Amino acid sequence: MTETPKDIAYSPSRFARDHEATLARQSEAGGALAERHPPVAVNPGEADSFNLFIPEGEGPWPLMVFIHGGYWQALDHTATDFLAERYLARGMAFASLEYGLAPETSIKTMIEQCQLGLEAACHALNHHGGAWGIHLGGHSAGAQLAYWVAARGTVPIDKLLLVSGVFDLTPLVDTYVNQPLGLSSTQAQALSPRFGRLDQLPPCQVVVAENDPPAFREQSHDFVTALRDAQVQAELLDVPGCDHFDVLDYL
């Protein structure tokens, strides 16, 4: 199949140095951390599974719950386990959420799974010392999922971290990304944070990489503008010298 200009514009790997090597390195780091500091593994192998990394000592602790990317069709929650090391160093617990992937799972169902995962992670930490201060984050497609979980407001979120996100899904309808998703333009708009309710969101940090695709960079800048127009406290962090994949190394 011939790539279109829009396919290329929304293909992060085309703008990255070596995305496969980055993902492999991050996966290896996450596995090594899990050996040194075993997480509480909840429902392993299931769509509602997650790994919960808890700091040493006595709680309660603030909790970061993070949703992985993969364009809603790749990777799993262990892809972000490596992030737990820096949060543990800050005295924070860290949970990496699983969700079902397309085409078997719709994005609407993914949002529901992530919402339940957030609630379950908070509940699990309460059984291991307690949670205070909940942060929610997501990378790429995970940023879109994190927005909707935060927007539902079932768990009070103190801070929302959105990294190299897709905030307007409508351009994806005519790209390779939509083949397993099967979204219509109407569905894509309804699932887009850019067109959702913004005024009830917690303070947000939107992160974008210097070498993210220009389309991703434009979406991040536009979303921060929309957040500020809605009177949401929003910070844009533009990280130099990195791409869509290794930007996670600089959080």
CATH code assigned at 181: 3.40.50.1820
Count: domains in the chain:
1
Tens digits of pLDDT across the chain (251 residues): 568 999 999 999 999 999 999 999 999 999 999 999 999 999 888 888 999 999 999 989 999 999 999 999 999 999 999 999 999 999 999 999 999 999 999 999 999 999 999 999 999 999 999 989 999 999 999 999 999 999 999 999 999 999 999 999 999 999 999 999 999 999 999 999 999 999 999 999 999 999 999 999 999 999 999 999 999 999 999 999 999 999 999 98
The pTM score is 0.97
* Domain encompassing residue 210: 5-250
Beta strand pairing call for 40-42 and 131-139: unpaired
Q: Tell me the torsion sign for CA atoms 219, 225, 231, 235.
A: positive
- Across the beta sheet with 159-163, the strand order is 40-42, 50-53, 93-97, 61-67, 131-139, 159-163, 204-211, 234-243
- Residues near 247 by beta carbon (within 8 Å), at least 6 away in sequence: 163, 164, 207, 208, 209, 212, 239
Residues facing residue 160 across a β-bridge: 136, 204
Separation of alpha carbons 10 and 165, rounded Å: 11
